[in-house]
Amino acid sequence: MRISQHSHPSSSSPNRGEDATQPGSVHDRSMGDLLRSVRNLSDVQVSRIVLYQREHELRFGEAAVALKLASEDDVLWALSQQFHYPYAPQDRGKHSPELVVASDPFSAQAEVFRDLCSQVAMSAEAEPQRGGHAVGVVSPDVGDGKTFLAANLAVAFSQVGGRTLLVDADMRTPRQHSVFGIDGSAGLSSALAGRTGTNAIQAVPDLPSLFVMPVGTVPPNPMELLQRPAFALLMQELLTKFDHVVVDTPAFTRGADARVIAARCGSAIAVGRKGRSRIAAMNGVIGALGTCRTKVVGVVMNER
């Protein structure tokens, strides 16, 4: 399934139909105005698009692409501006292709992450508030896709509003610093070891409201660090500073780290890989979360 353009049928003007800007609507500028600006379209070119649009009963953006006066990326960028979604086109190379919610925000895959984001948010609203809310992302085994899910869920949260922090707590095989292309020399391990003065939390370029805390130096004793009071205190502090905290964890096969982390979050999403993860393994993860009083707010079978 593909997500169609978020618009309405157009009439004879690029400022009407899909492009109309009504008082109080989410649109700030019309598609026509945005494409005119980004492609430096002349009045003659806009008139050609409008005529083609009317003759073929297309949206303004579709007509512009058909006439090769705009690209599909231009239209997606314009839509992202209308609906206030940060957009990072893949061909500009700003972000990893894994960040589908950032690079292709109107795709069916991105929509799945937004649905999951809403599910987690609604679950958090039903709980007593302690500032922001946290969710751990767990999986039975390495390679199930939890890092991919955690990264895109964090991007989705940042797009709907509120300060969002992605914590890479996988101190066994950390990868979020690579996904986001940030410095991974300092982070969670630095904070838990009591080393101050390090840039443990970093803003993500071109994705407003999103911050990442990488692992930092991989420690030889991750479980011991997580069991210290410092981790519980850190989570409490983060929940006072961020609206949404998403925590990536090691696989359950790597030890008890994920259970400790999920317990501090209070809620978790269990991730398995379709065609690979066994039902018994998934049930084992869910059962283990229950023993540490962690609410399972979602179970996802990754097809990627």
Coil, strand or helix at 28 = coil
Question: How crowded is residue 89: how many other Cβ atoms within 10 Å of its Cβ?
Answer: 18
Residue 167 CB-density burial (10 A; 0-12 exposed, 13-18 middle, 19+ buried): buried
Instruction: For tokens 């969670």, name the residue.
Output: 188
Q: 202-203 and 210-213 as β-strands: parallel, antiparallel, unpaired?
A: antiparallel
User: Whose CA is closest to 30, among 22, 20, 17?
Assistant: 20
Answer whether 251's CB lies under 8 Å from 222's CB. Answer: no
User: ∠181-186-192 over CA atoms, to 5°?
Assistant: 135
- State the Cα–Cα distance between residues 80 and 254, nearest whole angstrom: 39
Sign of CA dihedral 97, 102, 108, 111: positive
Block mean pLDDT (10 aa), the chain, length 304: 30 36 50 86 92 91 91 79 63 72 84 92 74 94 96 94 94 96 92 78 88 95 94 95 97 95 96 90 95 93 82
The alpha carbon of residue 142 and the mean position of all alpha carbons in its chain are separated, in whole angstroms, by 21
Answer whether 138's CB lies under 8 Å from 286's CB. Answer: no
Q: pLDDT value at position 135?
A: 97
The fold of 102-302 is Rossmann fold (3.40.50)
Question: How crowded is residue 175: how many other Cβ atoms within 10 Å of its Cβ?
Answer: 18
Instruction: For tokens 């850190």, name the residue.
Output: 234
Instruction: For tokens 């790597």, name the residue.
Output: 254
Taking CA atoms, 228 is separated from 52, 193, 225, in Å, by 66, 10, 5
pTM for this structure?
A: 0.76
Coil, strand or helix at 54 = helix
Q: Where are the domains of the chain?
A: 17-84, 102-302
User: ∠261-262-267 over CA atoms, to 5°?
Assistant: 150
DSSP 215-271: --SPPS-HHHHHHSHHHHHHHHHHHHH-SEEEEE---GGG-SHHHHHHHHHSEEEEE
Q: pLDDT value at position 6?
A: 32
- State the Cα–Cα distance between residues 251 and 257, nearest whole angstrom: 8
Digit-coded pLDDT (tens) for 23-81: 334 446 788 888 888 889 999 999 999 999 999 998 898 999 999 998 887 887 777 77
